[in-house]
Amino acid sequence: MGGRGRQGLAGLAAAIAASGLAVSGAVAQPGGGSGEDGLIDAILATSNQKTPVPQDNEFATAPGLEQAARQPQFTFNALAPLFYNSNPEFRSSGGPQSLEGSPVARLGWASQLLGTPLRVSGVASLEWERFPNANAASVDYFRSSARMQYINPGDDQGFSPFFAYVPRMDFEPTIGDNFATRQDVNFGFDKTFNFDGGFNRVPAAANSSSDTVWSFGYSITGQRRIRNLAPQSWAIIFAPSAAWVISPQWNASLAMPLTRRWFNGASRDLTVEPIGILEYIIPGGWLGGGHGATLLGNPAVDFLAFHERNWSTEASFEYGQWRAGVVLKAGWRF
């Protein structure tokens, strides 16, 4: 990767790390949940070998997550979701319901580290959440990630430990006052199990995706979260996931992250977030052939349902939320 690329990624990380606190009237998610993080990662983790996605994801079954980046590469993804949201203000009861538009623009980069089995990757994304019936819940995020992961060059189903630093800045819309900042330090590992159409284990290989019909995996993460809005917290996250390639155009996936979080001197939370996705990859022939599909980001349409339920020793932090809708997804690699 060229010097200007490295300087650009370093600049993004420095801007996030230097962010501070500003006054805001936006609704901050209580407790310390990360529902939008898991939802976006689930959309980018479907068994889709056409639409490029970053090699940085919460779910072990994400394409390429345990594969080497043979050459330095950039990936850009655009998501255009339209959801029904049952509780955009994360209230314990009595909150408004609303439509939700939450576009995402995400730039990713990945490369092997000096020819070693360690892959380094970075992500920077802008995320906008808008709620016509709950304007107080509208918020913008600038999120990034720096990740180092061990990759077995001959087995993309192996035990794959990682370290990641994931800061996020929360803004009043549209990219207004920065009212909250958090920084997550994650240590964990991924493990996947791939099967063919006859439900036989796919042999170890550097890239077993072409033979895989069913994929099962899990990620276990220990996390330290530092926020400029107290309290700080520790968490253990168990994120099982499964994916099924139904046909060249259709695939389905299911994930269910469980998070146990301890706040310093405050509450203890348990959060569960089941996410189900049915995806249709738009045929290249509809887009003028392979070249046209590539120019348009090899788009896909995701139909999804998501539920987030948080239990807490602090009653005001308990909430439930449903999201259901459709997402247009596109990606480019260069």
**Residues 244-257: tens digit of each pLDDT:** 999 999 999 999 99
Q: Cis bond leading into 117, ω under 30°?
A: no
| Contact (Cβ atoms closer than 8 angstroms) between residue 53 and residue 41 | no
Res. 266 pLDDT band, cuts 50 70 90:
confident
Predicted pLDDT of residue 230: 82
CA distances from 60 to 239, 255, 327 (A): 8, 10, 21
pLDDT tens digits, 141-176: 999 999 999 999 999 999 999 999 999 999 999 999
pLDDT exceeds 90 at position 10: no
Share of residues in the chain with pLDDT > 70 (%): 90
Structure tokens at 130: 């808008």
> In which band, very low, low, confident or very high, does the pLDDT at 229 lie, cut at 50, 70 and 90?
confident
Taking the CA of residue 64 as centre, how many other CA atoms within 13 Å lie in the half-sphere pointing to its CB? 21
Cβ neighbour number for residue 307 with a 10 Å cutoff = 17
Strand-pairing partners, residue 166, are 184
The answer to whether residue 322 scores a pLDDT higher than 80 is yes
Q: What gap in Å lies between CA 132 and CA 283, rounded to an integer? A: 33
The larger pLDDT score, comparing residue 98 to residue 34, is at: 98
Q: How far apart are CA 14 and CA 58, in angstroms?
A: 23
Residue 192 reports pLDDT greater than 90 = yes
User: 14-62: per-residue pLDDT in tens?
Assistant: 333 333 333 334 554 554 555 688 999 999 999 999 999 999 999 999 9
Question: What tens digit of pLDDT does each residue of 267-310 get?
Answer: 899 999 999 999 999 999 999 999 999 999 999 999 999 999 99
Within a 13 Å sphere around the CA of 313, how many CA atoms are in the beta-carbon half? 10
Least confident of 75-79, 193-197, 225-229: 225-229
At the topology level, CATH places domain 3-333 in Lipocalin (2.40.128)
Beta-carbon count within 10 A of 264 CB? 10
Average pLDDT of the chain, as a whole number: 90
CB contact at 8 A, 252 and 281: no
Measure the CA angle with vertex 34, ends 183 and 252; round to 5°.
130
C-alpha 302/C-alpha 329 separation (Å) is 7
- Torsions phi, psi of 59, nearest 5? -105, 130
Is the pLDDT confidence value at 8 over 90? no
pTM listed for this prediction: 0.89
Q: Looking at the predicted structure, is the pLDDT value of residue 312 above 50?
A: yes
Residue 36: its pLDDT value, please? 86
Dig out the tokens for 15 from the structure.
Answer: 């801007």
Check the CA dihedral 80-304-245-200 and report its sign: positive
Residues in the chain: 334
